[in-house]
Amino acid sequence: MNEQDRTGTPRSPDEYFRIFCECGRSECDRVIAIAIAEYEAIRSDARQFAVIRSHVMPDIEDVVRETERFTVVRKHEGTPAEVAEQEDPRS
């Protein structure tokens, strides 16, 4: 959804815009403030996502880094990584 909806995207790579938490929980409606440059850096790897800190799923992903606003996770090798790569809208 975040890849498809770029309305309201800021003009500067350092300005924040809002994305939905990318945790994959169907009931999650949390929003993250993120800069375009941050988001592009995260999503340059199909296995990386920005999530709310408390939405990390340690059984299928590792924490790559944390900020005050969000946590970057990377899907584990095997099925989680394969699914992330197959579902990547950038591919």
pLDDT string in tens for the chain (91-residue length): 565 555 555 567 778 889 999 998 999 999 999 998 899 899 999 999 999 999 999 999 999 999 999 999 999 999 989 889 988 877 6
pLDDT of 3: 55
Q: What is the largest CA-CA distance in the chain?
A: 37
What amino acid occupies position 69? Answer: R
pLDDT for residue 43: 92
**Which residues does residue 50 pair with via DSSP β-bridges, in sequence order?**
72
| pTM (predicted TM-score) | 0.82
Residue ranges of domains in the chain = 16-87
Contact by Cβ (8 Å): 89, 3: yes
> Can you tell me which residue has the tokens 């309305």?
7
Quick one: pLDDT at residue 14? 75
Among residues 8, 4, 6, 18, the alpha carbon closest in space to that of 52 is found at 18
